[in-house]
Structure 1
Amino acid sequence: MKKIIFSFLLTAFVSIAYAQKPTLKKSLNSDSSVNASNTQDSTKSKRSNTNKSEKQKAIISEYLIISSTRDTTYLDTTLSINKEYKYNYLRRDNFGLMPFANVGQTYNSLTYNFENTNQLPGFGARSKHFNYLNADDVNYYHAPTPLTELFFKTAFTQGQQLDAFFTTNTSRQFNLSIGYKGLRSLGFYQNSLSSSGNLRITASYKTKNKRYVLNTHFTSQDILNQENGGLKDDNIAFFESGDPDFDDRGVLEVNFEDAENLLLGKRFYLNHSYDLVQAKDSVSSNKIQLAHVMTLEDKIYTYDQTTANTDYFGDSFQTSNIKDRTELEQFTNQLQLNYSNSTLGNIQFNATHNNYNYGYNKIVLLDQNVIPNRLKGDVLSVGAKYNKQYKGFNLRGDAGLNVSGDFDGNYISGTASYLLNKDIKVSASINHNSVAPNFNTLLFQSSYKNYNWRNQFDNIKTQQLVFKVQSNKYANLTLDLNTINDYVYFAKNDEDGVKAFQSTNPITYLKVKLQKEIRYKNIALDNTVLYQNVKDDSNVLNVPQIVTRNTLYYSNHIFKKAMFLQTGVIFNYFSAYNMDAYDPLIAEFYTQNNQELGGFPRLDFFVNAKIRQTRVYLKAEHFNALFSDPTYYSAPNQPFRDFAIRFGLVWNFFL
């Protein structure tokens, strides 16, 4: 809570400090068609220029957002149905994710994406990473005038969510930004508090001739959740009874009330390049660039529990003060040589050195077996990338190979796309990847005896074919076919303890996704339907066959076009299936085939409005819970959230 308030006050203070004069002049343009997104702002503000004494006007398209791959877009302050989908804890569209009861808890995945270009194992504790900012998630900025964005949304009981962001250019060449996203939400069930903080600081610089470009950032993140293991089995009937005595979810008994897990992460990232041979103009034939990317990242995962719960986790080495701790330190350096030619296209050759150190501070002797404490070493890899655009065609290729080190790994991916006309684009992609499974499946230690292992798993091998058709007029269609060999997963063993396993059977996974918005005047029906089919003799990859989201909404300008209004109903549904269960000790979901869950609708009613640079959101979440049976779950023994009214806003300041 203190971090959230401090972040808000700091951002507000910086904004006021820069706002010595009311320089912003903002107007809304009318749009007779009232499209899915309302009218684009023509934001104008005065700015000082170190090279010119006269005041200039800044338009909204000059506020640039630059990705880690240096793709550039500009700030969007419009209100659209996609903004509604992204107005959540993750601040991105969470279609295909089933949230738990409290904000800031984990999500159960209803669908998977097996496109992968990693060549080294991941850290693990995947349930803690939905809100974790990776290096590719951090953007860089160019702002002609100081820019502030404030995101606020109510949470569940004694808390709120805030994302405060500020960026400014000290000159045309140098930009700084700072952002902090904080959450605290007590929740309605016993021992289910969520608290998280994501600090990000970025800087970008380029010389006047753009020969040298630098982007760098620092992130510090903490994601804390109190864990209760879900409802006790004998309390499931009380939850599903609908008895008003149990409307206060705090009276329902949970498996334990003294545990919490925490993910900490700190990262320093540097990406800079220098043009050895600089293109003279847009049709210049050659450009040669040398680039360097460095990442230094530390992650720590802890599980703390006051009293050992042997009924839930099995036997323990100690009866109290459980304090499990897992660490990963990674230091990566990549050297790139980029060559651009107007005829050949863009070609990159790269070499990467990765130093990793994963593990614990002790060894474990269990049943006369020694569980080591460290996996550490160095991996050297090489790779290449290719990109060529010609008329309506776009070809992309990417490949990588580990050439030395303890982990083998390789990938190759390619995409070919063609723009048939201004509306229709078709593309096909092929991806192959072979990578070692996550570190926590290879080595794990805990105070609970069952959660100690050292596995020698083979690489997970995936092949993926993707076909896409994109059309605003007709529909967006994606067909995604995957073959997975040596899949690694968590499941319960014969002693009813959760462990990591490797499947010996191949898995075929098909996804077909269709998205289409149907519009009539000011009324629109936005539809997203996902069909999934898995062929798996071992039944280790479980997904619902149907996942759908359908939104019926109305949008229009009111009050003489001073406000843009959007209101409607969102319908979410997924078919019943053997939903993965959640293990809070390892912060992972595990496969279970004993209980089908799902098959219930979720209805949300929303009213959103935009006034100048402010977007206001009001939503009645899961309002059909008021008149339907409480048989809704996010995972076995983990009820989904009840009806709640939440509101908030997103406010942009142009100074």
Structure 2
Amino acid sequence: MRYLFFIIFIFSIKIISAQETGLTTVKSDTLLSEKKDFKQIAKKEKSDKEENITIKDYKIISFSRDTTYLDTTLTIQKEYRYNYLRKDNFELLPLANMGQAYNNLGYDFESQLFYPKIGASAKHFNYLEMEDVKYYNVPTPTTDAMFKTVFEEGQFLDILLTFNLSKRLNYSIAYKGFRSLGKYNSSESEAGNFRTTANYQSKNSRYDIRMHIAAQDLINEENGGLSNKEGQFESGDADFSDRSRIDVNFTDAQTKILGKRYFFENRYKLIRKVKDSTIAEKTSLGIGHVFNYETKYYQFTQNNQNDYFGEAFVASNLSDKAILKTFYNQFSAEFYNSTLGRLKGNLNIYNYNYYFNSTLIVNNESIARQIKGEEISLGANYQKQIGGFNLKGDFAYNLSGKLTGTILNVGASYKIADDIVFSAQLHSSSKMPNFNFLLYQSDYANYNWDNTNTFNKTSTNSLNFNLDTKQFGNASVKITSLDNYSYFAVDPDQIITEGESESQFIKPYQETKAVNYLKVKYQKEFKYKGFALDNTIMYQTVAQSTNVLNVPQFTTRNSFYYSTDVFKKAMFLQTGVTFKYFTSYNMNSYNPLLGEFYIQNTEKLGGFPLLDFFINAKVQQTRIYLKAEHFNSSFSGFNYYSAPDYPYRDFIVRFGVVWNFFS
């Protein structure tokens, strides 16, 4: 699969070269707004209707059916999202190589998924879940492609091709793939995310359908971190400026996630009434069905047993493989009235099978190797716009099964003025922790447990307030309370002697007392002529009887930059410096066997500055990015870590582009 993106790229280039690409005189702030910019796009289609196409006709539809449109502007927010995840990673801290794990600087415990996941959460940041897949509706064939250099021997490319076969039928195909050797020994990463979508709406708007297929694999070499960080890294010894000379804990381990998903949703409106002389819907009653089938496995392999993880049942060819197969059906009925709002009721049936192919026998007794069952729940969704108020809510209650309890989401927003919006959200849920907390089997003796009868459901309750203003900035306050919080940690009863690694004694635990978490975030940008200063600051505190949730108290990101048109407005240019800093704290440690971070309270890390210098430019629909990342690394001290024993990235210059082609 890793080579598929080359095929897609060549195919899309042939399509583009066979047609004349327009949009050659579009300004950065008036994208595709003038008819003359579309005369070249629509040479073969000269109707007045097509000449009136604007950028807002290139629609992107989320899983929850919120609609946005393709944005080809160049802003500081685009700079923050120009990364491997293609999202703002302000609350994340990546390990040294692209595609490795991310440590959390902040948390959002709300989950829209009602059911536990397979686990290996540190490896899933780039795994596209069902709700992450986008759908499209475009008037002309459109290509979105992102390229970026990596860390030694490899490239990154994310390419999407979408087109409407008719006005009501859209198809898309996309692939994100990369390979990066990395600076440190045995840290190579590679991944492939293939997805294809289709969505259709009938001419009378009674029937609509959407579907997607996703196939993903994420592969990482694991080295266990540095084995002599004081002498070879923190000392700044020039002999080890070539990071491949630094000793690591092992060189023969690998983790892999592979998943395949088939998603299908259709709706039919039995009754549909429209307002007189308009197409706006007044009343409708419809039925729907959602089908989702997914298989996934997480695997850790190692050539030879290593004392880093303790004793093993076998001396070589170690392989731990957790498999999860899920089958989900939702049957729903939906009523809409322009006065009463939209109400949807649903019945959910979820079948799951989490298992290992091996059988563990301890003291002549076989340990469970499988968690299998069925969950049945009832749910409801409601949405209503009342003047400046927008109300949303959804609820689900489990009728049978052991994994889940309830989930409740309530949200309300009010538009105080054209540039002031206040919103509040309430979340409450109860469900079992991820499957790897409940059951795990490994060739390493200490990584075997069965907590299916001892672990309780985790209760999450949160209240979030947001104030978005153009003049005063954006502020949010979130209060979260956790009961039976699940985490990985070193066995507190274990005395670790010299020569032993704490990774030999990692176990899952639950905190029986409440954990209360407060997060306050504020963002504001100041502008003067071509200069701008964008600021984001986050404050966090945790009230807990035991230190099971560790976060930095303050995190800040400040970007000072300059924007201007150059070359007679043929190019839009942005250049500046981004400063990021977070206070020191007991940063979570990374465990490569589980693909999880675990709690440690013996070593404080952080408190180091991260400085990036960037030059970004926009020419027509092409955005060009050049960044000197962490350019202060050589003179601010070698104490920068993403996790204990895992250094953050050294200074590196990387570049890339984002293209949009319109045929």
Establish whether TM, by shorter chain, passes 0.5.
yes
1:572 aligns with 2:587: no
Matched with 2:589 is: 581
- For residues 493-520 of structure 1, give each alpha carbon's deviation from its aligned partner in whole angstroms, at most 9, with x where no partner exists: 1344111001111101000000101111
1:332 aligns with 2:340: no
Matched with 2:472 is: 474
Matched with 2:626 is: 618
Matched with 1:35 is: none
Cα distance in 1 between the residues matched to 2:419 and 2:274: 33
Matched with 1:206 is: 201
1:161 aligns with 2:160: no
Matched with 2:108 is: 113
Contact 1:85 1:94 in 2 (8 A): yes
Structure 1 residue 380: deviation in Å?
A: 0.4
Matched with 1:267 is: 261
Structure 1 residue 55: deviation in Å?
A: 6.5
Structure 1 residue 367: deviation in Å?
A: 4.8
Aligned partner of residue 8 in structure 2, secondary structure? helix
Matched with 1:151 is: 146
Matched with 1:377 is: 373
Contact 2:23 2:621 in 1 (8 A): no
Aligned partner of residue 56 in structure 2, secondary structure? helix
- For residues 215-244 of structure 1, give each alpha carbon's deviation from its aligned partner in whole angstroms, at most 9, with x where no partner exists: 110000000000000001x34332011111
Cα distance in 1 between the residues matched to 2:437 and 2:529: 54
Matches within 5 A, 1:158-197: 158-197=153-192
The partner residue of 1:294 within 269, 278, 291 is 291
1:238 aligns with 2:232: yes
Matched with 2:26 is: 28
Structure 1 residue 414: deviation in Å?
A: 1.0
Amino acid across the alignment from 1:293: V
Structure 1 residue 460: deviation in Å?
A: 0.3
Contact 1:185 1:194 in 2 (8 A): yes
Cα distance in 1 between the residues matched to 2:281 and 2:362: 66
- For residues 507-564 of structure 1, give each alpha carbon's deviation from its aligned partner in whole angstroms, at most 9, with x where no partner exists: 0100000010111111111011000000111100001101111110111111111000
Q: 1:112 to 1:58 in 2, by over 3 A?
A: same
Aligned partner of residue 208 in structure 1, secondary structure? coil
Structure 1 residue 46: deviation in Å?
A: 3.8
Contact 1:46 1:58 in 2 (8 A): no
Contact 2:27 2:620 in 1 (8 A): no
Cα distance in 2 between the residues matched to 1:18 and 1:216: 26
1:556 aligns with 2:564: yes
Report which stretch shifted further, 600-609 or 415-424: 415-424
Matched with 2:457 is: 459
Amino acid across the alignment from 2:255: N
Contact 1:48 1:56 in 2 (8 A): no
Matched with 2:487 is: 489
Contact 1:156 1:188 in 2 (8 A): yes
Cα distance in 2 between the residues matched to 1:285 and 1:39: 34
1:3 aligns with 2:2: yes
Amino acid across the alignment from 2:645: N
Aligned partner of residue 279 in structure 1, secondary structure? strand
Cα distance in 2 between the residues matched to 1:51 and 1:556: 35
Structure 1 residue 21: deviation in Å?
A: 3.6
Contact 2:264 2:291 in 1 (8 A): yes
Cα distance in 2 between the residues matched to 1:594 and 1:628: 24
Structure 1 residue 18: deviation in Å?
A: 5.6
Aligned partner of residue 24 in structure 1, secondary structure? coil
Report which stretch shifted further, 151-160 or 490-499: 490-499
- For residues 454-495 of structure 1, give each alpha carbon's deviation from its aligned partner in whole angstroms, at most 9, with x where no partner exists: 002100011111111110111111010011111010001134
Matches within 5 A, 1:295-444: 295-309=292-306, 311-367=307-363, 370-444=366-440
Contact 1:48 1:54 in 2 (8 A): no
Q: 1:235 to 1:18 in 2, by over 3 A?
A: closer
Report which stretch shifted further, 495-504 or 358-367: 358-367
- For residues 48-92 of structure 1, give each alpha carbon's deviation from its aligned partner in whole angstroms, at most 9, with x where no partner exists: 899979974532221111111221111111111111000000011
Contact 1:226 1:259 in 2 (8 A): yes
How many residues of Structure 1 are paired with residues of Structure 2 in the alignment?
644
Report which stretch shifted further, 53-62 or 145-154: 53-62
Cα distance in 1 between the residues matched to 2:44 and 2:223: 57
Report which stretch shifted further, 204-213 or 482-491: 204-213
Matched with 2:117 is: 122
Q: 1:96 to 1:23 in 2, by over 3 A?
A: closer
Cα distance in 2 between the residues matched to 1:78 and 1:50: 26
Cα distance in 2 between the residues matched to 1:299 and 1:95: 29
Structure 1 residue 11: deviation in Å?
A: 2.9
Cα distance in 2 between the residues matched to 1:632 and 1:578: 14
Structure 1 residue 368: deviation in Å?
A: 5.6
Aligned partner of residue 597 in structure 1, secondary structure? coil
Matched with 2:497 is: none
Amino acid across the alignment from 2:557: R
Aligned partner of residue 84 in structure 1, secondary structure? helix
The partner residue of 1:101 within 66, 74, 96 is 96
Structure 1 residue 345: deviation in Å?
A: 0.9
Matched with 1:33 is: none
Matched with 1:34 is: none
Aligned partner of residue 128 in structure 2, secondary structure? coil
Contact 1:101 1:639 in 2 (8 A): yes
Structure 1 residue 47: deviation in Å?
A: 4.1
Aligned partner of residue 278 in structure 1, secondary structure? strand
Contact 2:212 2:262 in 1 (8 A): yes
Matched with 2:499 is: none
Contact 2:269 2:284 in 1 (8 A): yes
Amino acid across the alignment from 1:294: F
- For residues 321-350 of structure 1, give each alpha carbon's deviation from its aligned partner in whole angstroms, at most 9, with x where no partner exists: 001111000010111211111221111101
Structure 1 residue 430: deviation in Å?
A: 1.5
Structure 1 residue 23: deviation in Å?
A: 5.1
Amino acid across the alignment from 1:241: S
The partner residue of 2:63 within 60, 68, 72 is 68
Structure 1 residue 361: deviation in Å?
A: 1.9
Q: 1:631 to 1:403 in 2, by over 3 A?
A: same
Contact 2:2 2:191 in 1 (8 A): no
Matched with 2:54 is: 59
Cα distance in 1 between the residues matched to 2:167 and 2:46: 10
Cα distance in 2 between the residues matched to 1:560 and 1:537: 63
Which structure 2 residue ranges, 5 or more long, are not aligned?
Answer: 495-501
Contact 1:49 1:55 in 2 (8 A): no
Q: 1:412 to 1:243 in 2, by over 3 A?
A: same
Report which stretch shifted further, 65-74 or 509-518: 65-74
Cα distance in 1 between the residues matched to 2:390 and 2:48: 44
Amino acid across the alignment from 1:237: G
Structure 1 residue 122: deviation in Å?
A: 1.4
Amino acid across the alignment from 1:571: F
Cα distance in 1 between the residues matched to 2:383 and 2:89: 30
Q: 1:41 to 1:523 in 2, by over 3 A?
A: farther
Structure 1 residue 118: deviation in Å?
A: 3.3
Root-mean-square deviation over aligned CA pairs: 1.8
Cα distance in 1 between the residues matched to 2:47 and 2:565: 39
Report which stretch shifted further, 598-607 or 210-219: 210-219
Amino acid across the alignment from 2:572: F
Matches within 5 A, 1:638-653: 638-653=646-661
Contact 1:371 1:452 in 2 (8 A): no
Cα distance in 2 between the residues matched to 1:79 and 1:375: 48
Cα distance in 2 between the residues matched to 1:54 and 1:464: 48
Cα distance in 2 between the residues matched to 1:114 and 1:302: 26
Cα distance in 1 between the residues matched to 2:18 and 2:302: 51
Contact 1:400 1:412 in 2 (8 A): yes
Cα distance in 2 between the residues matched to 1:48 and 1:127: 49
Cα distance in 1 between the residues matched to 2:166 and 2:43: 10
